[in-house]
A and B are shown apart, each in its own frame.
Chain A
Amino acid sequence: MALLEVTGLEVEFDTPEGVVKAVNGLDFKVDTGETLAIVGESGAGKSQLVMAIMGLLAENGSARGKAVFRGQDLMSMTPKELNAVRGRHIAMIFQDPMTSLNPYLSIEKQMTEVVMHHQGLKKDEAKAKAIAMLRAVRIPDAEERIKQYPHEYSGGMRQRVMIAMGLLCEPGLLIADEPSTALDVTVQAQITQLVGELSEKTNMSIILITHDLAVVAEIGDRIIVMYAGEVVESGTAEDIFYSPQHPYTQGLLASVPRLDQVMEDGLHAIPGNPPNLQELPDGCRFRDRCDKAMDQCLQPPPVWESGDGRTSRCFIPMEGGRLQAPVALPAEVTDGEGEAE
């Protein structure tokens, strides 16, 4: 059974310029012990979707849909019920470790508070547990360093503390929102590897949110690619990296600067800008930036699927895929299958 199953998730924000739809009908699930990566540019809605699940949307935001975690719908919980789940069963780490830690409290205070609150441990038990967890994320001299304050840690160390803090209650699910983006490449690699190892050891599920496909290659089991609030493609890491179907995924992969390949005629860039949710084009939302755009892209594109969560939202047929819902395709699409591939 899936640990978390999200269906029909929609997120809207009420702004002075009108209602903005950040997430437009999203379905996905995370199995136990699995790492799901959600990839997309700014404005894709990837952060807002987890904020909605965790009940952390801004004042002007509202969400609809279901997010069933261990049999309970998170979306219909009261704040009190949610508080019992957040931090205890679902932990979250954010992009900027400095702003996520309280600068006035020692690491010890911040870490022990979590277990004392959620698990009712005594102070010294809590401290022992916190030290053990700091060791697990490879912080040297954990007994000494736990007394220090966030500013005495480097960026990479702070993110380790955040991870340790998230793992203290042995959650079933860790949501990591761009955990390594603000860090140096060298530290990024360490953090990504650490998260991967810990999930393997504890059988914890992970939702990893990032704008950089390269980061996902190492630890992602399944990948969802989002664009302008919609899933444009999903599949296993193998599917996405070795046979990407959607032009957007292909473009994202090609624009990663690689050490092992040099493009003589410059890097591949996706033209245009990340989507502006207030001025979305009709039909396919990626149309303006797509190098394969056709006339029928003025209509909303169909979704192709081939079992086990492999999908592509495009008029170009997916290899081995069938249409998810019976959609009346313009004649030229169904006829031109061979050409399009």
Chain B
Amino acid sequence: MSKPVLRVQDLAVTFTSYVGGLLQRQERQVQAVDGISFELFAGETLGIVGESGCGKSTLSRAILGLIPVNRGRVMWMGENLTELDEESMRQRRKELQIVFQDPVASLNPRMTAGDIVAEPLWTFYPNMDRVQVDERTRGMLKVVGLLPNQVNRYPHEFSSGQCQRIGIARSLVLNPRLLICDEPVSALDVSIQAQIINLLKDLQKKLGLALIFVAHDLSVVRHISDRVMVMYMGQAMEVAEKERLYRRPLHPYTNALMKSVPVPDPRLAATARHDNWLTGDMPSPFNRPKGCIFHDRCPHRVQRCEADVPALRRMENGDWVACHRAEDLDLSIIMS
């Protein structure tokens, strides 16, 4: 098998916050990303799923070097990105691009669609011929399903789905090899979500991109990922090949996430979802539970979970899970 393009090893990001008044100021640490490791191959899509605050966006930004990391390595094509100086990192950014969640807010309202898409070209190739830039920009707009004659329009003249297409065009204009999509569809209407997911899937196939697709919803991820990583409070709970994960999740948290997805079918909704409810909120990041980090919300917890931290371990089928009871729980999803 070919070598992975991206190898993240034991990555950790810590944020510091201050509490108390001027005199009793105390420092508190939040482990936003706590020892994440994974590999990604060219042409492969990894879905990263978890609730808000689980560290999925922080992880994406750390991979791209947009925030400093405290520990671990981000190996991109054999080179550790966390050790690069600013200029070399800037050059790498041509290969590493990101699409953000809020399509309208991430576009400059005073720039035309054409300028927005062309800006990365001007930044990285300042001597590029204007005609060439124009051609490439129009071509890119066409690739994402917009009309080349829309180059002179401003973001407010587009719907949010179209704005997300512009965002995708901008991120692809430099021919990146890795694209990170941070909740690219969660701000869009349901009917438009499907358009954008299908577009990303198409583009990935065409361009052979390595794709990281971040979402809070397992149902969206299912339609685009090859493998899925489920995160909870900065840690990986399960990393598994898609088909297996959706047939039989190994971690109770994965199972709980699945059961929370609304089913557009009243009869199924009445019966399928109500057992095994995920109760409560995520614990405060300042006050992390001892033992398994998920134990206080877990319906399957046993005494051991309150004391021992389960390691992320490899199962026979090659998937990874961090649960003491992975072998003896049967969490198969029974659906019509």
Query: Which residues of A pack against B, CB within 8 Å?
Result: 41-42, 140, 154-157, 184-190, 192-193, 211-215, 217-218, 220, 237-238, 241, 251-253, 255-260, 262-263, 266-271, 273-274, 276
List of A residues within 8 angstroms of B37 by Cβ: none
Most chain A CB neighbours (cut-off 10 Å) among B198, B258, B336: B198
The closest CB in chain B to the CB of A237 belongs to B266
B333 within 8 A of A: yes
A158 to chain B, nearest CB (A): 11
Most chain B CB neighbours (cut-off 10 Å) among A154, A189, A215, A257: A257
- A258–B221 alpha-carbon span in the complex (Å): 10
- A246–B51 alpha-carbon span in the complex (Å): 35
B191 within 8 A of A: yes
Evaluate whether A186 and B51 lie within 8 angstroms (CB atoms) in the complex, with A263-B223, A269-B192 already known. yes
Please determine whether A276 and B266 come into contact, CB atoms closer than 8 angstroms.
Answer: no
The closest CB in chain A to the CB of B274 belongs to A193
The closest CB in chain B to the CB of A185 belongs to B260
B40 to chain A, nearest CB (A): 22
List of A residues within 8 angstroms of B219 by Cβ: 257-259
- A324–B52 alpha-carbon span in the complex (Å): 48
Please determine whether B191 and A269 come into contact, CB atoms closer than 8 angstroms.
Answer: yes
B229 to chain A, nearest CB (A): 17
B61 within 8 A of A: no
The number of A-B residue pairs with CB atoms under 8 Å apart is: 143
- A203–B266 alpha-carbon span in the complex (Å): 20
Given contacts A217-B262, A260-B335, 11 further A-B contacts (CB under 8 A): A41-B189, A154-B282, A186-B51, A188-B262, A214-B263, A252-B190, A256-B264, A257-B197, A259-B222, A263-B223, A266-B198
- A212–B265 alpha-carbon span in the complex (Å): 12
List of B residues within 8 angstroms of A187 by Cβ: 51, 281
The closest CB in chain B to the CB of A248 belongs to B191
List of B residues within 8 angstroms of A262 by Cβ: 222-223
The closest CB in chain A to the CB of B218 belongs to A259
The closest CB in chain A to the CB of B49 belongs to A185
Please determine whether A186 and B260 come into contact, CB atoms closer than 8 angstroms.
Answer: yes
A–B Cβ pairs within 8 angstroms, 20 of them:
A154-B282, A185-B217, A185-B218, A188-B260, A189-B259, A189-B278, A213-B264, A214-B261, A217-B262, A218-B262, A218-B270, A220-B266, A252-B190, A253-B264, A259-B333, A266-B194, A269-B191, A269-B195, A270-B191, A274-B192
Using an 8 Å CB-CB cutoff, how does the interface string of B83-102 with A read, 1 for contact, 0 for none?
Answer: 00000000000000000000
- A193–B270 alpha-carbon span in the complex (Å): 10
Using an 8 Å CB-CB cutoff, how does the interface string of B206-221 with A read, 1 for contact, 0 for none?
Answer: 0000000000111110
A72 to chain B, nearest CB (A): 33
Please determine whether B281 and A156 come into contact, CB atoms closer than 8 angstroms.
Answer: yes
Please determine whether B263 and A257 come into contact, CB atoms closer than 8 angstroms.
Answer: no
Please determine whether B263 and A186 come into contact, CB atoms closer than 8 angstroms.
Answer: no
Evaluate whether A154 and B281 lie within 8 angstroms (CB atoms) in the complex, with A184-B216, A189-B273, A241-B265 already known. yes
B160 within 8 A of A: yes
The closest CB in chain B to the CB of A40 belongs to B189
B257 within 8 A of A: yes
Please determine whether B191 and A218 come into contact, CB atoms closer than 8 angstroms.
Answer: no
The closest CB in chain B to the CB of A258 belongs to B219
- A154–B198 alpha-carbon span in the complex (Å): 33
Please determine whether A274 and B261 come into contact, CB atoms closer than 8 angstroms.
Answer: no
List of A residues within 8 angstroms of B51 by Cβ: 184-187
Most chain B CB neighbours (cut-off 10 Å) among A154, A185, A220, A266: A185
Using an 8 Å CB-CB cutoff, how does the interface string of B245-269 with A read, 1 for contact, 0 for none?
Answer: 0100000000011111111111011
List of A residues within 8 angstroms of B333 by Cβ: 259-260
Please determine whether A217 and B161 come into contact, CB atoms closer than 8 angstroms.
Answer: no
List of A residues within 8 angstroms of B162 by Cβ: 273
Evaluate whether A185 and B261 lie within 8 angstroms (CB atoms) in the complex, with A213-B190, A259-B246 already known. yes
